[in-house]
Chain A
Amino acid sequence: GEDVEQSLFLSVREGDSSVINCTYTDSSSTYLYWYKQEPGAGLQLLTYIFSNMDMKQDQRLTVLLNKKDKHLSLRIADTQTGDSAIYFCAESNESGGSYIPTFGRGTSLIVHP
């Protein structure tokens, strides 16, 4: 089965908050990430959270981690049309001195006026 799961689509109205959810299976995950992919571009790291944290906030972005339920969420406040993109959840744990991420399938966020 999948290591990282997320729903494929989310549609919100401009100005509303968006919440993108993700679940993962690896209880030893050390880092959890959110990447953003805009049309025609590669992925770009939005934010990451260390597994001993519950929450991380960065301007309009809030990441919540429920380690017990292996659930990660990304909240985007005051969503704008420029936030329309695919958002990838990813997790990693240490292996041979590296933290190569495992990505979910991506959630397409559609922001409409």
Chain B
Amino acid sequence: DADVTQTPRNRITKTGKRIMLECSQTKGHDRMYWYRQDPGLGLRLIYYSFDVKDINKGEISDGYSVSRQAQAKFSLSLESAIPNQTALYFCATSDQAGIADTQYFGPGTRLTVL
């Protein structure tokens, strides 16, 4: 079974709709992250959380919000989706006690905003 799971894996939505992407992990890691991948642009950090009560903005947080419902769950919301939020979204985890904050990635959610 995958250690980091994301739902849904694919989603098509319309401009202005609210959408939530969910991430769950069974690795027992305390740190969780949301990244966005665009072709030719690499990965950019949206939000990260070091524990349930901790939420931090990343490089590109505008238009996004997050919720850390439990140590194992970290969700990303787009309150009013727009076409330039079409991208591949990855959740990742790392272990505070690990080395170099090695990131463990989920399989990704492909989001298309029409």
Contact = CB atoms under 8 A, between A and B. Distances in A.
Given A98-B50, A100-B48, A45 B103 contact: yes
Residue among B4, B45, B103, B104 with most chain A CB within 10 A = B103
Interface stretch (A54-62, A63-71, A72-80, A103-111): A103-111
B100 A42 contact: no
A42 B106 contact: yes
Nearest to B98: A99
Contacts of B43: 43, 88, 103
Nearest to B42: A105
Interface residues on B, range: 20 to 34
28 contacts: A4-B42, A8-B40, A35-B103, A41-B108, A42-B90, A42-B92, A42-B105, A42-B107, A43-B90, A43-B103, A43-B105, A44-B105, A45-B102, A45-B103, A45-B104, A48-B99, A92-B100, A98-B31, A98-B50, A99-B100, A100-B45, A100-B48, A100-B101, A101-B101, A104-B42, A105-B40, A105-B42, A106-B42
A24 interface: no
A98 B45 CA distance: 14
Interface residues of A, number: 25
